[in-house]
Every structure is written in C-alpha cells, then in structure tokens.
C-alpha cells in the first residue's frame, strides 16, 4: 500500500504597498489551518487588498456597496469538486480586518488569519447565512481552528 500524498499549495499575494503583512507568516498559518481542516489536497490563493478594492469586489460579486473583511471564491461549484479537495481564492481587506480586531493580542498576520480561517470554511461549503444554527456551527469551528493554532485565549 502506498502512503497518501497530501498536497497543500498556498499562495499569499498583497496588492498594498508597502505590504502590510509578512506573507511567509500568513502562509504558514494557512498551511497549519489546512492540516487541521484535513483535505487530501488543497490549492488556496489568498489575496490581501485594501478597502477600496474590496468594496469593488463586494459590489461586483455580492451586490453589496461597501467593504467587507473577507470574500471566498470556491474554484468549483458546490458538489462538483473531487472528494477531499479544497480549492479557491480568498480575498481579504487588511485594513478592515485589522480595524475589526483592534485590541486583540497577536501580530497583524495572526489577526488577519482569523478572517482567512472564515474564508477557508466557506471554501469547505460552510455558510453562516443559511441560518442561526449554521452560523453558530461555523463560528464554533472557526474559533476551534483559530485557537488550536494560536493557543487558547487568543481574543
């Protein structure tokens, strides 16, 4: 029997200058989250933008005329991805994420990582907009992943 090969590709690009985050640190955190989530393969692309760019994306894709912290774009339609595969893009607004976590302990990368975890769960098919119960399940899973990687009492 051959060992199962796990491939987890993670890229982090930043459209802000100077880059507000250490890309290597954020990439390492995302890899750890993927290990915790457990897909057999993953291809995740994180793009860090400013509020202006995020507002344009939010308006174009979700019809919401404001900035937001994170938007996920799954590579495959729901139910169409091969089993055990997680792939897609996560767009995060660093300024919004950092504003919303002002006062939290940890580095800027760790604070933005909280929202990337949220985006990863969306790529897994979770959706807090499906109702209160789903929202609570998603928040619980989000916190478990975040705290397991950064330690208890991170907020």
SS3 of 85-117: EEEEEEEEEHHHHHHHCCCCCCCHHHHHHHHHH
The SS3 assignment for 82 reads coil
What is the architecture of the domain spanning 8-150? 3-Layer(aba) Sandwich (3.40)
Which among 79, 81, 10 is positioned nearest to 42, based on CA atoms?
10
Integer-rounded Cα radius of gyration of the chain: 15
For 104-123, the pLDDT digits (tens) are 999 999 999 999 999 999 99
Its pTM stands at 0.90
pLDDT value of position 2: 47
């Amino acid at each position: 029997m051959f060992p199962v090969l796990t491939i987890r590709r993670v890229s982090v690009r930043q459209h802000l200058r100077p880059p507000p985050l250490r890309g290597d640190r954020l990439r390492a955190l995302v890899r750890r989250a993927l290990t915790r989530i457990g897909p057999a393969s993953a291809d995740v692309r994180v793009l860090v933008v400013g509020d202006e760019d995020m507002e344009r994306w939010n308006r174009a894709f979700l019809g919401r005329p404001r900035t937001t912290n994170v938007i996920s774009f799954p590579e495959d339609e729901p139910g169409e991805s091969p089993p055990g595969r997680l792939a897609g893009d996560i767009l995060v607004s660093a300024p919004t994420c950092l504003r919303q976590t002002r006062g939290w302990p940890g580095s800027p990368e760790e604070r933005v990582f909280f929202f990337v975890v949220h985006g990863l769960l969306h790529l897994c098919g979770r959706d807090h907009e499906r109702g209160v119960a789903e929202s609570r399940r998603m928040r619980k899973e989000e916190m478990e992943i975040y705290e397991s990687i950064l330690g208890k009492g991170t907020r």
